[in-house]
Amino acid sequence: MTSQNNSTPDDVHNQKEVAFYAACMEAWINTRMEKGRHLVTLSSLAIGLLVVFHDKLFDNIDFYLWVISAVTFLLCIIGNLIILAKNAPYLECVTKEDNEKAAHYEKLLNCASRFSDVSFVLGIILTLILTISLSNFVHIKIEKEVPHVEQQQ
């Protein structure tokens, strides 16, 4: 007995396109979700690093850098938590073909994604500046450049 295949070449081609599209969408979603998870993890780690720096703050500028860095990493975490929370409703709207709600969620997700990315990069830059400011190299170099005036008697 031979089994007959009722699929035409066009049907097979369409099925392959649908399967390819589904695999691409799944990979895209997983990549975006992983990026968000990694940013949350790295931001949490950076906040922990900033807590270690707290005892080494020398002046007000260091303190302000420390606070702003911690806040930017916290904002990155909040932005990514919004993304993780709103992804499921967005995908539901897309599958139900509710284009109006999907467009709203898409704007929100894009805004939160950009906000998280900018917050993370800003936090890294500020933490790097704070690290350089707190390093002994900078303080030793400044001390060597300032001439000491000896008191004459």
What's the pLDDT tens digit per position in 28-78? Answer: 777 777 888 888 899 999 998 888 877 777 778 888 888 999 999 999 999
Chain Cα centroid distance, residue 52: 22
From 58-62, 88-92, 134-138, the region with the lowest mean pLDDT: 134-138
Name residue, tokens 């702003």: 68
Task: Quote the CA–CA distance of 150 and 52 in Å, as a whole number.
Answer: 38
Average pLDDT value for residue range 22-33 = 77
Tell me the pLDDT of the chain averaged across its residues.
81
Q: Is residue 39 part of a domain?
A: yes
CB atoms within 10 A of CB 79: 24
Report pLDDT for 2: 47
Q: Is residue 30 part of a domain?
A: yes
Q: Is residue 8 part of a domain?
A: no
Q: Is residue 72 part of a domain?
A: yes
Q: Would you report the helix, strand and coil content of the chain in percent, each value rounded to 5?
A: 85, 0, 15
Q: Is residue 109 part of a domain?
A: yes
Average pLDDT value for residue range 86-115 = 87
Q: Is residue 12 part of a domain?
A: no
Determine the 3-state secondary structure of 8 from DSSP: coil
DSSP labels for 26-72? Answer: HHHHHHHHHHHHHHHHHHHHHHHHHHHHGGG--SHHHHHHHHHHHHH
Average pLDDT value for residue range 102-121 = 92
* Residue 41: domain span: 22-134
How many structural domains compose the chain?
1
Q: Is residue 58 part of a domain?
A: yes
Q: Is residue 146 part of a domain?
A: no
Report pLDDT for 1: 47
